[in-house]
Amino acid sequence: MKSIYSTPTELLRRSKLKRTSCREGILSVIMESDEALSESEIRDRLGSTYDRTTFYRSFRTLEEHGLLHRIIIPDQPVKYAVDMHHDHSGQGHAHHFCRACHSVRCLESVRFHTDHIPASFTVEQADVVIKGVCKTCNHLGR
Ligand SMILES: [Zn+2]
Ligand SMILES: [Zn+2]
């Protein structure tokens, strides 16, 4: 996934996180993919370079600091994408889910504000999912 921050190193620096090869590896795998990935897909692509503990610790750190965000779609594995804008101002973006290949992608251009939600509701997670057919599947006529 293309980021406005070009490298994992830069992302870590902006979040004031120490550079470790595992953190950089996780970010690279996701940034090189053109779709959101599940935890096990990320682990598979990283190979056996890091043990489980290192992987999960690094993964959680990246998520806690908002460098990764989780995308929850009913009946699908939880997917993760790199946070392009690193924006915690109550703005979120929508995600696209392809019904044919089940790929999930960030729709950075489709944004919404959680501050429009009535104050009587506590927001814990906001998911806007646009369902349809992705570019690749459209080409293949799925
Ligand atoms: Zn598709
Ligand atoms: Zn996203």
Domain covering 8-82 assigned CATH 3.30.930.10 in the classification: no
Report DSSP state, residue 4. S
Taking the domain 91-140, which CATH number applies?
A: 3.30.1490
Query: Ligand 2 center to residue 93 CA distance, Å?
Result: 6
Q: List per-residue pLDDT tens for the chain, 142 residues long.
A: 444 557 999 999 989 999 999 999 999 999 999 999 999 999 999 988 899 999 999 999 999 998 999 999 999 999 999 976 555 566 789 999 999 999 999 998 898 888 888 989 988 888 899 999 999 999 998 8
Angstrom distance (rounded) from CA 14 to CA 38:
24
CB under 8 Å to 56, separation ≥6 — which residues?
none
CA–centroid distance, 128 to ligand 2, in Å, is: 10
96 CA distance to ligand 2 middle (Å) = 9
Compute the C-alpha angle 23/70/118, nearest 5°. 135
Q: Determine the distance separating the centroid of ligand 1 and the alpha carbon of 3, expressed in angstroms.
A: 21
Predicted confidence at residue 86, as pLDDT, reads 53
- Spacing, Cα 10 to ligand 2 middle (Å): 19
Of 57, 66, 64, 55, the C-alpha closest to 26 is: 55
Q: Ligand 2 centre and the CA of 121: distance in Å?
A: 23
Which residues make up the CATH 1.10.10.10 domain(s) of the chain?
A: 8-82
Q: Provide CATH 3.30.1490 ranges for the chain.
A: 91-140
Contact partners, residue 41, CB within 8 Å, separation at least 6: none
What proportions of the chain, in percent to the nearest 5, are helix, strand and coil? 35, 25, 45
How many whole angstroms separate alpha carbon 39 and alpha carbon 70? 10
